[in-house]
Structure 1
Amino acid sequence: MSLENAILVGVFDGFTWIRCEGKGSFVTSPVMKECAEARIAQGERCLVIDLEACTGMDSTFMGQLASFSARLSKLGASGGVQIAGAGERNRNSLEDLGLDCLLEIDPPAAVWRGHASEVRANLEPYQLGHPPGTLDRAKHVLESHKVLSAANAENAKKFAGVVGILEKEVAEGERKSD
């Protein structure tokens, strides 16, 4: 990942802040996923995803946001996934896929309200433990699109072709690796 596309993270009292700088894409989302999953495994129940410096999001990235929400919801988390600094373009992208029902976008009563600048000043780059190979990347993209498809019927129709192609690609990759 380049300096133009980075995931920054900070752990604060009551939440973990994950900032996407540059494009939120299938390239940056494995880094965000590893970071979020590690924090959830350590007991975090509120993830704040900062999109203030995010120049746009692809469906894989948005599918990961939805997957964090689903995972925290299963755990009975009270904080869930909050989006900070969505901006009009990113808010529209999330709303177009119906994700505004799963994510709290710029919640007015969030514990971090009024402290976002201070939080952003205390973030560190997150380094991926190991870059995903071709098969792992295909599995990641497939998982994201399955989550989006499960979010609502319109998404299921929209992503049916992508899911079908990715399922075949993953199955073929797994056969080759056996």
Structure 2
Amino acid sequence: MTPPTHILVGTIGRVFWMRVDGRGTFQNSLQAKKALQRVMSHGVKDFVIDLERCPMMDSTFLGMLTGAALNLRESGGGTLSVLNANQRNLQLLTSLGLDHILDLDQDGKLWAEERRQACQALQHCAETNAECKEAQTEHVLAAHLALAGVSDANECRFHDVIEFLEKELEEHAVVQA
């Protein structure tokens, strides 16, 4: 059985730090997104996603990171740095073209002082996951649309998933009507 994932968060100086302790998946990406949105709404512009303890990420989690980076750009700038990614996660990030919109720290030099303080500053994320299946589906769709928007290759790669999710939301709307 896969151990549970914990999203740990904290503010270190001017940086919002998020450590993914376990797999980054559709099951915890909405919680992570809400935490990022909350601090963005308070004017935080610098973000670190620490993947030291994250063995893998699925496309929904990757799309959530993409959406956060794009929102940061649209809102006037800032940084979204990914630290301590293993080889598998680095390959995923670069093959999807996310190295063009995220700062990938491959040599361990970004946020050196904050790295030393991270262990003491992080706490369990208090944000919640989706309240219902429809909200979760909307989140997964938004994540995949963000990924698809990065490149034509991603658009082709995620076309079927997007189409399936849109159809699922349409069917849910008909049932609700």
For normalisation by structure 2, the TM-score amounts to 0.92
Q: Residue 172 of structure 1 corresponds to which residue in structure 2?
A: 171
Compute the displacement of 1:75 (Å). 1.1
Mapped partners of 1:9, 1:144: distance in 2? 21
Mapped partners of 1:133, 1:63: distance in 2? 20
Q: Residue 140 of structure 1 corresponds to which residue in structure 2?
A: 139
> Any stretches of 5+ residues in structure 1 without a counterpart?
none
Amino acid at match of 1:69: A
Compute the displacement of 1:36 (Å). 0.3
Mapped partners of 2:10, 2:127: distance in 1? 15
Mapped partners of 1:151, 1:103: distance in 2? 12
Amino acid at match of 2:67: S
Mapped partners of 2:66, 2:46: distance in 1? 14
Amino acid at match of 2:104: I
Flag the structure with more relative contact order, 1 or 2, with Cα contacts below 8 A and sequence separation at least 6. Answer: 2
Compute the displacement of 1:127 (Å). 2.2
Amino acid at match of 2:125: Y
Q: Residue 17 of structure 1 corresponds to which residue in structure 2?
A: 17
**What RMSD, in angstroms, separates the aligned Cα atoms of the two structures?**
1.7
Residue 12 of structure 2 contacts residue 114 of structure 2 at CA under 8 Å; is this kept in 1?
A: no
Q: Residue 123 of structure 1 corresponds to which residue in structure 2?
A: 122
Compute the displacement of 1:76 (Å). 1.4
> Any stretches of 5+ residues in structure 2 without a counterpart?
none
Mapped partners of 2:37, 2:3: distance in 1? 23
Count matched residues: 175
> In terms of mean alpha carbon deviation, does 129-138 or 51-60 score higher?
129-138
Q: Residue 75 of structure 1 corresponds to which residue in structure 2?
A: 75
1:26 aligns with 2:23: no
Identity %: 30
Compute the displacement of 1:165 (Å). 0.6
1:56 aligns with 2:49: no
Mapped partners of 2:119, 2:154: distance in 1? 33
Q: Which runs of 4+ in 1 moved over 2 A?
A: 107-110, 127-132, 174-178
Amino acid at match of 1:157: C
> In terms of mean alpha carbon deviation, does 116-125 or 49-58 score higher?
116-125
- Call closer, same or farther: CA 1:177–1:128 in 2, change over 3 Å: farther
